[in-house]
Amino acid sequence: MKKIVPVVLFIVALAGCSRLDMQDQPKYRPQRPSNFFADGRSERQPVEGTIARGQLNEDTAFYEGKDAAGKDVDVFPIAVDKTVILRGQNRYDIYCSPCHGRIGNGLGMIVRRGFKQPPSYHIDRLRNAPVGHFYDVISNGYGAMLNYAAQVQPRDRWAIIAYIRALQYSENANINDLPAEARSKVPATSAPPVPAQANEPIAPPDSDFENFPAQPATPSGVPGAHGPGAVPGKQPER
Ligand code: HEC
Q: How far apart are CA 168 and CA 120, in angstroms?
A: 10
SS3 57: coil
Q: How far apart are CA 70 and CA 61, in angstroms?
A: 9
Q: How far apart are CA 165 and CA 151, in angstroms?
A: 21
Spans of all domains in the chain: 80-171
Answer for the pair 97, 89: CB distance below 8 angstroms, yes or no: no
SS3 144: coil
103 lines ligand 1 (CB under 6 A): no
pLDDT one-digit tens code per residue, 149-206: 999 999 999 999 999 999 999 998 888 888 888 888 888 877 777 888 888 887 655 4
Q: What is the pTM of this model?
A: 0.74
pLDDT one-digit tens code per residue, 7-58: 666 665 555 555 678 778 888 888 999 999 999 999 999 999 999 998 999 9
SS3 137: helix
Residue to substitute in 89, 97, 100, 163 for testing ligand 1 pocket (most ligand atoms within 8 angstroms of CB): 100
**With b meaning 16 or more CB within 10 Å and e meaning fewer, what string describes 41-74?**
ebeeeeeeeeeeeeeeeeebbbbbbebeeeebbe
Please choose, from the candidates 30, 52, 53, 24, the residue with its C-alpha nearest in 3D space to the C-alpha of residue 43: 30
What topology does CATH give the domain 80-171? Cytochrome Bc1 Complex; Chain D, domain 2 (1.10.760)
